Structures are given as structure tokens and as C-alpha cells.
Homo-oligomer: A and B are copies of this chain.
């Protein structure tokens, strides 16, 4: 098919190879008539420049990498991944970038993949989805001085660019809403505590209580694992403490908590109010509808690509921290939507 080269197009258009190159790269210094003629030939022949050649000489490939460090299981249970990927992929389409996808489940994978992602000249930049497993890789990549953006605040954010919401503030907003509804005995189901999201959302819970002078009670705090099953189990453990409201650090856990509450004959929100976090679309919306903090996961992807492009084009600037806003979506499970 298109085994054409610049030279071929040049010949067909009666110009030199350089001129064709200029046309392709939108250099202003080409006469209009010539440009039109060249463009026509390109159009007719279906020519596309060889990207490898271009990458070789220009030292940039038009390709960025997405590194997803994941245990095999969490890859599926967590809808975060497809959303983030979608945002990134769409942004890449928009900016005419090719997206390389690297799944890292083991240390072995990491070593194997590293040469493919580390070296400038093949990947122009990298987005790493944050997560426990990835922290070592992030370190290595950052040392390799390749433009790097983390999706989600990493454990050690100092010298890194990342995009995330402010999970502390967002969680505090959720809990404050519960407080404003008159609740005092507010429990929380936290995420795993080895991970920034879990840590921050718990901190936000504590912050909100402190701000309103509500004493913290350790029996009102139970750790979950972001899954529905985990939320169910956590709520069962919480029930004896008789909370009047619960803030779950993910929608999945909130749903699990609602099931646990309902399974012992209590009602949401009348007996216990529930607020979640994420606002991802559910295959089956729960009853009652969940009040939750919405975070723009696709937006993370889009912004991550934009920041990365900036980093690529403008070199070693100080790391950028992009904090997007989470939004409280009030539905029925918190008991404030009396209209329902």
C-alpha cells in the first residue's frame, strides 16, 4: 500500500523532499500554490510519513505511555481504571498522540517494561496510575528524567507532577454535610490505609469532626477495602456502635454498608444516613439513591495528558500539582432530599 516516501511525493509534485517535509510540518515558508499542489498529491496517494524515521531524527515519537501498576484482581473490581483510561485515550486522540499501554503486575514486569518506557526517544512522556505497587517504578522513572505525570497523588509527591482531587477536603465536605443534617454519631468506613486515597479521606473525616467539635470515637472507624463486600462486612462491625450516619470512602463500600444496614431491618436514611465517594455509574442504582462525592476521573485523564504535553514541550519546570474539585451530589441516602 503506502510504501511511499517523501521523495516519491516530491517527485510527483515536482518539488524537493524538503518542501514536502515543510508542508507536512506546517512550516509557514511555503508558497500557497506549492503547498496546495503537494497537499493534493499527498491526498491522492494516501501518503503518511514514516513515524519511525521521524522519531529517529526528531527525537520524539508522538507517543506517550500509560503505566498501570495493578495487582491482577484490583484490575477488575475497580471501575477507576476504565474511566481514567478513557479520559487519557480521548485526550490522546485529540492531541494526535499514540498511547502505549503498560500493565505492570509484578516486579518482573517492571524490569521488563522499564527499558521500553525509560528511554527518551521512544516514549515522549509517561502517565503512571498511582498505587502501592507503582511507587518503586515512579521513583525509577523520575530518575530517568522522562516527563512524568502521576494520576492520583502519589505517596511521595514532592518532586512529582500529579493530578487528583483534594481527598481530605472532599471527605470533609461529605462529613460536614452529614453534620449539617444534625448528625453527631457519624461513623466512617475507610479505604486501605496503605494508600493515599484511604489515608486522605479518613483525614478529611477527622478534620470535619474536629472542626465541628465532635469527639472522635475509635469504634466508629472501621477499615474497608473499597469493595462492596468489604463495605458490607465493615458496616456489620459498625452496627453495634449504633451510628446515626456513615461516610464510606467509596461508593462500592457505601452500597455494601446500605445492604448491611437493611439486612438487620434498619432503614436508610431514616435510621442511618449514608454518604459515599466517587459517583461512578452503577449497573443497578441502589435504593435509596446514594448521596456521594463526585470526582472527575475521566477529567484526571484528560488533565494528565495536558500537563504531560506541557512538560514535554517546556522541559524541566517545577512539578505541577493539579487539584481538581470534587462535588457533593445530594440524593436520597443522606436524608436531606425530603422531596423524595
Contacts and interface: CB of A to CB of B under 8 A. Distances in A.
Nearest to A70: B86
A16 interface: no
B122 A103 contact: no
A51 B1 CA distance: 24
Given A76-B79, A100-B100, A52 B56 contact: yes
A52 B121 contact: yes
Given A82-B75, A283-B77, A101 B103 contact: no
A181 interface: no
A29 interface: no
A90 interface: yes
Contacts of A112: 93, 96
Contacts of A259: 284
Contact of A228 (B75, B102, B103, B284): B284
A113 B101 contact: no
Contacts of A61: 52
B82 A103 contact: no
A323 B52 CA distance: 35
A281 to B, nearest CB: 6
A74 to B, nearest CB: 11
B76 A82 contact: yes
A242 interface: no
Contacts of A83: 76
A283 B256 CA distance: 10
A283 B228 contact: yes
A11 interface: no
A227 B93 contact: no
A221 B2 CA distance: 49
A309 B56 CA distance: 25
Contacts of A63: 100
A102 B100 contact: no
Contacts of A82: 75-76, 81-82
Contacts of A1: 118-120, 144-145
A70 to B, nearest CB: 9
A48 B115 CA distance: 7
A282 B109 CA distance: 27
Contacts of A99: 100-102
